[in-house]
Amino acid sequence: MRYRKIPDEAVRRLPVYLRAALHLSGRGIECTSSQGLADFIGVEPWQIRKDFSYFGDFGVPGVGYNLSRLIKHVNRILRLDTGPKAALVGVGNLGTALLTFPGFRMYGLEIAAAFDIDKRKIGRRKAGVLIEDVAALSDLRTRGIDLGIVAVPEATSQQVIDALAQAGIKGILNFSPRHVVVPRGMKVITIDIAMDLARLPYYVPAG
């Protein structure tokens, strides 16, 4: 493999490949081809080979990919091998759903702290996680937390992100659709649920 710029889209797909590898590995399969992975995911095999090629040699020509090796490799690339911990801010309906969300576990991700502004929630536990006062949010890195999940009303998302930045957080999964300004070096991935539902009718024939 020679160096070249890694497409963002290739990075975005790595977790998908990782999930497929984990699934197939869980079924007792040790080795599979790009075709085997592609069929599972519903993409084309050269897409997978191309994406992997940006990160090094994953497979063996004529044979395929050893799944446990692939899993280890992708886990390291995505920095999931250290079991990243996230702090959730906003324990409303969406926040609660995220606390109990089963999908994080397979990636080794964990919500290790939760914060809210509501005095009635503070001090209680939800899904085993203590809800703390968002006003006391500070220094999360010393607690081994370096990701943030923002599930607050959009009016407060900017100040929450500022507070998370102050607490040393460099990566945020943001469910608020409002534009936020972030310090240099911070990465924000926004999930805009309403936007995604709102563009759906465009594709649906009028009726």
Partner DNA sequence: GTTTGTGAATAGTTTCACAGCA
Partner DNA sequence: TGCTGTGAAACTATTCACAAAC
Pick one of 141, 159, 166, 183: the residue that binds its own copies (CB under 8 A): 141
Contact residues toward DNA (CB under 7 A) are 1-2, 4-5, 7-10, 33-35, 44-47, 49-50, 52-53, 57-65
Q: How far, in Å, CA of 193 to CA of 200, rounded? A: 11
Taking residue 107's Cβ as centre, other Cβ atoms within 10 Å add up to 16
The backbone region for 169, taken as left when phi is positive above 0, alpha when psi lies in -120 to 50, beta otherwise, is: beta
| CA distances (Å), origin 76, targets 140, 150, 185 | 23, 25, 21
Spatial contact of 106 and 19, defined as CB atoms under 8 Å apart: yes
45 binds, among DNA, its own copies, none (CB under 5 to 8 A by kind): DNA
Q: How far is the CB of 128 from its own copies (least distance, A)?
A: 14
Nearer to its own copies, 63 or 198 (CB): 198
Q: Which residues pair with 126 in a beta bridge?
A: 129
* Side-chain-facing half-sphere of 98: CA atoms under 13 Å: 26
CA distance 84 to 173: 13
Q: Is 90 labelled as part of a ligand binding site?
A: yes
Q: Is 193 in the site for its own copies (CB under 8 A)?
A: yes
> Whole-angstrom Cα distance, residue 63 to residue 155?
54
Check binding of 128 to its own copies (CB under 8 A).
no
Least Å distance between CB 3 and DNA? 10
Binding site for its own copies (CB under 8 A): 11-12, 14-16, 18-19, 40-42, 77-80, 84, 86, 92-94, 96-98, 100-104, 106-107, 109, 141, 146-147, 149, 153, 170-173, 177, 179-181, 185, 187, 189, 191-207
Binding annotation for NAD(+): 90-95
